[in-house]
Amino acid sequence: MIPKIDTELCTGCKSCIEVCPPLAIVVENEKAFIDPEFCEECGFCVAECIVNAIAIEFPSSTKK
Ligand code: SF4
Ligand code: SF4
């Protein structure tokens, strides 16, 4: 699964960019976005984000 970024929580700190091997994350206007074309679904960014703005949503887990 490609992680989802909650732009409400994202502070634009860019920590996630530094841990993303394929450089799939960009920060614009202090909000991070993942380019699904480049994401390798490694999950490193999820572990890195200190405000927990990045999460992997599994289809079988919590639904809104
Ligand atoms: S899951 Fe891995 S490849 Fe995808 S955006 Fe996060 S760090 Fe980058
Ligand atoms: S690590 Fe989290 S808060 Fe920082 S830019 Fe990435 S998504 Fe936003």
CA 64 to centroid of ligand 1, rounded, Å: 24
**pLDDT at position 32, please?**
98
Query: Strand ranges (DSSP E) for 1-64?
Result: 4-5, 25-28, 31-34, 54-55
Structure confidence by residue, pLDDT tens digits, 8-59: 999 999 999 999 999 999 999 999 999 999 999 999 999 999 999 999 988 7
Q: Would you list the domain boundaries of the chain?
A: 4-55
* Whether this model's pTM surpasses 0.75: yes
**pLDDT at position 52, please?**
97
Just give the CATH number of 4-55.
3.30.70.20
CA 64, CA 62: separation in Å to the nearest integer?
7
CA 32 to centroid of ligand 2, rounded, Å: 6
Closest C-alpha residue for ligand 2 atom 6: 16
